[in-house]
Structure 1
Amino acid sequence: MFGIYLKRELSRRKKAALVIAMGLALGIALVITVNSVSAGMQQAQEKVLKSLYGLGTDMTVTKAQAAPSANSSGRPKFNFDAKSDSSTSQSSDRVMTQGGQTLKSSLVTEVAAQKGVSSAVGSLSLNVVKVDGSFTQGKAKSSTSNQGGPGGQGGSTGMPQVQGGGASFDVNSYSVAGVDVSHQALGPLATSKITTGSTFTAEQSSAKVAVISKSYAKENKYKVGSTLKISGKKYKVIGIATPDSSESTTDVYLPLKQAQTLGDAKNKVTTIYVKATDSKQIATVKSTIQKNIAGTTVTTSADLADTVSGSLSTASNLATSVGKWLSIAVLVAAFLVAALLTSSAVSRRVREFGTLKALGWPSRKVTRQVVGESIVNGLLGGALGIALGLAAAYTVTAISPKLTAELGSTGSTGGPGGPGGGGPGAAASAAKNTVDIALSAPVSVTTIALAVGLAVTGGLIAGAMGGWRASRMRPADALRSVS
């Protein structure tokens, strides 16, 4: 009986039911769209941060760069001999640690022993400036003056002048990262995949081998089996690595011991990569490390997120603040409109409900009837809202608007890490890196479940108000409405 009467009443009031459903649908569609765009913003930001952090890295421990002393400018120096033979090429490499002051390797074990830390791996970041070319010495030539003196005397010989000569040098700068070959799942090489050759083995901790990035190999025509020469030392290329992110700036990877020898930094590291046992306790682990290991800088992905600016940051803030508040306001308005329309519809059905009560329907049955109709309207609005929301999210994904993210400084001098091969040092460089990100709007099952819940909630709110109004009617009301 309930189902038959419900179907008949909804069929009689199609327009009113459609108006209520559409009001709820617009609110639910806006919620789905805002949630989907926010999820897309989060994915875009994670993609940007992925270029700075290694896979599985929750935080890094570094030490800020010290100010240069009065007797040291901190700039590289190169010494060459000026040779007369211009065909003789001269070359000099300057190897410097970068990414802050070096830390003792023993700190890696100390960090790994802290509460909440799952594992810790050290890495050494180096910058190599290579200068090669040749000198050409000039030749001294004397000039003769033809002006005659008194008595018709001849000319005089002037001061000799150097003509010709010069120098032609090429400057090449690239980054080197020392990798703990026994823990490659965490550290600078974790953000790259070996596409040609092989990666390091545990037995190669002291071997003169190297893995180079795909872009660096292409630029310098290196391949597996080639020999790479750094500061007079030769390294055999065993693998070509392709970074997961285009923002990775590490060119050459060496075993950590070899990098320490090359950079004259025995038992030193510049970055300690840390993985927490629980990703929800990263802030607590950060505080623990900072408290127990003085003089270090601990950087998390949340810290790096604060350095991301540009249109991505602006859009993310809008979606988080304005978008969510707007969707809540529209949703509340949709619920109120549905409740008022339902209550108004009940007021126009005085004769109907009064007659039903006169025939013996109790108030709870009348209320159940109104609530049932409202829930059906809510579910219909939910279905329409989900369809509209999915269409809007699909449109955003299809258009894929471009957003720009600028990776700025975290505020520590010299940067809290190594080169951008998975460590957060790229975010702390003086120059900002700009990344273009295509925005998508993924719709999750949770978002759909939220939409269904909102639809039922809207129907219940409208039904509760309408049912309360209907339950207060008396049979006498129906008689007074008869003209």
Structure 2
Amino acid sequence: MFFTYLRRELRRRRKAALVVASGLALGIALVIVVNSVSAGMSQAQGKVLQSLYGLGTDMTVTKAQPPQGQGGDAGRPRFKFDARGEGDADADAQQSRDLVMPQGFQTLDSATVAKVAGQDGVARAVGGLSLQVMKVNGQFKRGEFRRGQGGGAAGGTAGKPGAGGGGNTVEGGGADFDVNSFSVYGTDVTQPELGPLTTSKITSGRGFAAGDKDAAVTVVDSAYAKKNNLAVGSELTVKNTPFKVLGIATADSGDATANLYVPLHQAQTLAETPDKITTVYVQAKDSQAIGSVKQAIQKNVPDTTVTTSADLADTVSGSLSTAASLASTVGSWLSYVVLAAAFLVAGLLTSSAVSRRVREFGTLKALGWKSRRVTLQVAGEALVNGLIGGVLGIGVGLGAAYAITAASPTLTARLAGAAGRAGMRAGGQGGFGGGMRAARQGAGKALDVALTAPVSLSVIGLAVALAVAGGLIAGGFGGWRASRLRPADALRRVE
């Protein structure tokens, strides 16, 4: 009897059933799309943070530079060139100097790595040294002294050629120097699974091995190698030390951590900073305990800055941040409002249908149907309408999510600028791959990330639950109305 009435009502009230199902489908589809887009935002943000942080790195330990003006002239670049006299045959010869300086942070003692590694919850820790190399090449050219027509040997006051009208002049001369700047990163070659190179993949040649600890070898970023025509086996010179190119590394996304990677010992030698590092890369034993590990390091390793991927998440801005905000706030509230409206409309339409069927229900009660059976009949019909709406909503939601993934709209992400973010910038430089130079530039380097809308089984389960809930709510309205009907009153009413 239940299914007989069910089939009859669905056929007889096709339009009303379609309206109820469509309303629920719209709300359910919107919930699926919002949840899937939010999941895509999380994946996109995770991709950005991964490109900045590197695989395996949970946090970095650094020491920020002192405010400007407190370091005197000690931190300023200074070049010294040979002073050559007039009689020097090499006075016009080419001169070259390399200035190698730690960049981004104050240096830390290498012993800091062992101290950090000894903290509770730390699985591994390695050190790295971030350097900036300024290479100056050029030459000084002597000017030619020309004596005027009226000038004699004493054509003027000593030291002032031309005084007294002699017309003596110096022509030509000057200096012509080319300045080239690039970054070098000293990495612990004994633990390549942790450190700055984890944000890149070796696309040619090979990476470092434990035996390269003291070797003058380098891995070159692909963009820098292409710009300078470098290949595996090439040699380049830094501070009069020739380095052989072992491999070419390509950043997974965004900018690479450095132009050149060298063994840590070689970097310390170039910068004349033995047993010094700028960054400690830390891997936690448990990803859920990163917060407690950070607190332990901050407590036991004073005067350092500990930065985690969670700290960086709030600094990601651009269209990625805007879209994430829309998905998590506006989109969520919109889906809730539409869903609530769909539930309300379904309940009202079901209640209205019951009002038009009072004579039918009155007759059934007169024939012996109990109120409970009438209520179940109405609720069952509403539940079927809800399930139909759920199927439609899931279909529409999956289609919309697939369309978003297929279109892959590009979002822009960048780290926050320097203003007001000095502490976070210290954590972003050197330790987070593409964020290093972005933070130095203030506004940040933009990264393009393709948006996807993955749909998980939990979202499908949520959609089914909403469909059932919508049917039960609508059935509750109608069933309550039907249960209050009395046979005598219902039979006196005419449709």
Which TM-score applies when normalising by structure 1?
A: 0.91
Question: 1:65–1:413: 8 Å Cα contact kept in structure 2?
Answer: no
1:88 corresponds, among 69, 85, 93, to: 93
Match of 1:437 in 2: 449
Give RMSD over aligned pairs.
2.3
Question: 1:304–1:427: 8 Å Cα contact kept in structure 2?
Answer: no
1:111 corresponds, among 97, 111, 116, to: 116
1:52: Cα distance to partner? 1.5
**Is residue 381 of structure 2 the alignment partner of residue 376 of structure 1?**
no
User: Identical aligned pairs, as a percentage?
Assistant: 61
Query: Are residues 420 and 245 of structure 1, via their aligned partners in 2, closer, same or farther at CA, if it must alter by over 3 Å?
Result: farther
Distance, in Å, in 1 between the alignment partners of 2:41 and 2:71 is 47
**Is residue 199 of structure 2 the alignment partner of residue 191 of structure 1?**
yes
Question: 2:131–2:183: 8 Å Cα contact kept in structure 1?
Answer: yes
**Is residue 491 of structure 2 the alignment partner of residue 479 of structure 1?**
yes
1:19: Cα distance to partner? 0.5
Match of 1:460 in 2: 472
Question: 1:415–1:429: 8 Å Cα contact kept in structure 2?
Answer: no
Distance, in Å, in 1 between the alignment partners of 2:361 and 2:265 is 87
Distance, in Å, in 2 between the alignment partners of 1:158 and 1:25 is 99
Query: Are residues 401 and 417 of structure 1, via their aligned partners in 2, closer, same or farther at CA, if it must alter by over 3 Å?
Result: closer
1:16-72 superposed Cα distances (whole Å, 9 cap, x missing partner)? 110000111111111122222222222222232223211122211111112454641
1:145-191 superposed Cα distances (whole Å, 9 cap, x missing partner)? 49xxxxxxxxx871532111222222111111111112111110111
> What does 1:245-264 correspond to in 2, within 5 Å?
245-264=253-272
1:365 corresponds, among 336, 349, 373, to: 373
1:360: Cα distance to partner? 2.0
1:414: Cα distance to partner? 6.9
Distance, in Å, in 2 between the alignment partners of 1:137 and 1:414 is 46
> What does 1:218-367 correspond to in 2, within 5 Å?
218-367=226-375
Letter in 1 for 2:82: D
Query: Are residues 360 and 108 of structure 1, via their aligned partners in 2, closer, same or farther at CA, if it must alter by over 3 Å?
Result: same
Query: Are residues 95 and 345 of structure 1, via their aligned partners in 2, closer, same or farther at CA, if it must alter by over 3 Å?
Result: same
Query: How many residues end up aligned between the 2 structures?
Result: 474
Question: 1:64–1:413: 8 Å Cα contact kept in structure 2?
Answer: no
Match of 1:150 in 2: none
Distance, in Å, in 2 between the alignment partners of 1:245 and 1:297 is 25
2:209 corresponds, among 197, 201, 209, to: 201
1:73: Cα distance to partner? 5.7
Match of 1:153 in 2: none
Larger mean Cα displacement after TM superposition, 176-185 or 438-447: 438-447
Question: 1:206–1:257: 8 Å Cα contact kept in structure 2?
Answer: yes
Question: 1:307–1:427: 8 Å Cα contact kept in structure 2?
Answer: no
Distance, in Å, in 1 between the alignment partners of 2:285 and 2:341 is 44
Structure 1: state its 5+ residue gaps: 147-155
> What does 1:1-16 correspond to in 2, within 5 Å?
1-16=1-16
Question: 2:36–2:455: 8 Å Cα contact kept in structure 1?
Answer: yes
Question: 1:397–1:439: 8 Å Cα contact kept in structure 2?
Answer: yes
Query: Are residues 203 and 62 of structure 1, via their aligned partners in 2, closer, same or farther at CA, if it must alter by over 3 Å?
Result: same
Question: 2:52–2:428: 8 Å Cα contact kept in structure 1?
Answer: no
Question: 1:99–1:417: 8 Å Cα contact kept in structure 2?
Answer: no
Query: Are residues 313 and 340 of structure 1, via their aligned partners in 2, closer, same or farther at CA, if it must alter by over 3 Å?
Result: same
Query: Are residues 78 and 413 of structure 1, via their aligned partners in 2, closer, same or farther at CA, if it must alter by over 3 Å?
Result: farther
1:96: Cα distance to partner? 0.6
Match of 1:151 in 2: none
Distance, in Å, in 2 between the alignment partners of 1:55 and 1:414 is 20
1:451-478 superposed Cα distances (whole Å, 9 cap, x missing partner)? 1221111111111222222222222233
Letter in 2 for 1:61: V
1:260-301 superposed Cα distances (whole Å, 9 cap, x missing partner)? 222222222111112222323322222222122211111112
1:86: Cα distance to partner? 8.0
Question: 1:60–1:299: 8 Å Cα contact kept in structure 2?
Answer: yes
1:403: Cα distance to partner? 2.9
Distance, in Å, in 2 between the alignment partners of 1:86 and 1:188 is 43
1:297-318 superposed Cα distances (whole Å, 9 cap, x missing partner)? 1111222122222222222222
Distance, in Å, in 2 between the alignment partners of 1:444 and 1:278 is 25
Letter in 2 for 1:46: G
Query: Are residues 74 and 467 of structure 1, via their aligned partners in 2, closer, same or farther at CA, if it must alter by over 3 Å?
Result: same
Query: Are residues 414 and 379 of structure 1, via their aligned partners in 2, closer, same or farther at CA, if it must alter by over 3 Å?
Result: closer
Distance, in Å, in 2 between the alignment partners of 1:87 and 1:215 is 35
Distance, in Å, in 2 between the alignment partners of 1:187 and 1:30 is 42
Match of 1:446 in 2: 458
1:101: Cα distance to partner? 1.0
SS of equivalent to 1:437 = strand
Structure 2: state its 5+ residue gaps: 152-163
